[in-house]
Structure 1
Amino acid sequence: MTTRAVVKGVGHYLPERVVPNAEFEATIDTSDEWIRSRSGIERRHFAAEGQTTSDLAVRAAQAALADAGLTAEDIDAIIVATSTPDLTFPSVATMVQAGLGMTRGYGYDVQAVCAGFVFALANADAMIRGGMARRVLVIGAETFSRLMDWTDRTTCVLFGDGAGALVLEAAEGQGNTDDRGVLSCDLQSDGRQRDILYVDGGVSTGTTGHLRMLGKEVFRHAIEKLAQTAHAALDRVGLSGEDVDWIVPHQANLRIIQGTAQRMQVPMDRVVVTVQDHGNTSAASIPLALSVGKARGQIKPGDLLVCEAIGGGLAWGAVVLRW
Structure 2
Amino acid sequence: MRRSSVVAGIGGCTPDRVVTNAELARHFDTTDAWIVSRTGISARRRVEPGQSTSDLAVVAGRLALESAGSTDVDMVILATATPDRPCPATAPVVAARLGLGTVPAFDISAVCSGFVYALSVADGMIAAGTAGRVLLIGADAFSTILDPDDRATAAVFGDGAGAMVLRAGEPGEPGELLGFDLGADGTQEDLITVPAGGSRRPRRDGVDEDDRWFVMRGQAVYRHAVRRMTATAQSVLALADWRSGEVDHLIAHQANARILATVGAELGIAPERVYSNIADVGNTVAASVPLALADAAAAGVLSRGDRVLLTAFGGGTTWGAAALTWPELVVAARTEAAARTEGERVL
Tell me if TM exceeds 0.5. Answer: yes
1:35 aligned partner: 35
Q: What are the superposed Cα offsets for residues 293-312 of structure 1, whole Å, 9 maximum, x if unpaired?
A: 00111111211111110011
CA distance in 2, matches of 1:55, 1:179: 31
* Matching of residues 67-146 of structure 1 within 5 Å: 67-71=67-71, 74-146=72-144
Give 1:13 deviation, angstroms: 0.8
Give 1:201 deviation, angstroms: 2.1
Q: Does the 8 A contact of 2:174 with 2:304 survive in 1?
A: no
Output the amino acid matched with 2:188. Q
2:281 aligned partner: 278
1:257 aligned partner: 260
CA distance in 2, matches of 1:77, 1:180: 19
CA distance in 2, matches of 1:63, 1:171: 21
Give 1:105 deviation, angstroms: 1.8
Q: Does the 8 A contact of 2:306 with 2:325 survive in 1?
A: yes
For normalisation by structure 1, the TM-score amounts to 0.96
Q: Does the 8 A contact of 1:80 with 1:120 survive in 2?
A: yes
2:224 aligned partner: 221
Q: What are the superposed Cα offsets for residues 105-155 of structure 1, whole Å, 9 maximum, x if unpaired?
A: 211000000000000011001111111100000000000001111212122
Give 1:237 deviation, angstroms: 2.6
1:239 aligned partner: 242
Give 1:179 deviation, angstroms: 5.7
Aligned residues: 318
Output the amino acid matched with 1:206. P
Output the amino acid matched with 2:240. V
CA distance in 2, matches of 1:59, 1:37: 32
Gaps of at least 5 residues in structure 2 are 204-210, 327-347
RMSD after superposition = 1.2
The partner residue of 1:201 within 192, 196, 201 is 196
Which has the larger displacement, 191-200 or 259-268?
A: 191-200
CA distance in 2, matches of 1:201, 1:302: 46
Q: Does the 8 A contact of 2:110 with 2:314 survive in 1?
A: yes
Q: Does the 8 A contact of 2:6 with 2:174 survive in 1?
A: no
Percent sequence identity over aligned pairs: 44
Output the amino acid matched with 1:64. A
SS in 1 for 2:156: coil
2:185 aligned partner: 190
In structure 2, the CA distance between the partners of 1:179 and 1:2, relative to structure 1 (3 Å rule), is farther
CA distance in 1, matches of 2:49, 2:224: 35
Q: Does the 8 A contact of 1:248 with 1:289 survive in 2?
A: yes
CA distance in 2, matches of 1:197, 1:51: 24
2:215 aligned partner: 212
Q: 2:317 aligned with 1:321, yes or no?
A: no
Output the amino acid matched with 1:41. I
CA distance in 2, matches of 1:88, 1:223: 31
Q: 2:165 aligned with 1:167, yes or no?
A: yes
Output the amino acid matched with 1:173. P
CA distance in 2, matches of 1:295, 1:103: 29
SS in 1 for 2:293: helix
Give 1:91 deviation, angstroms: 1.1
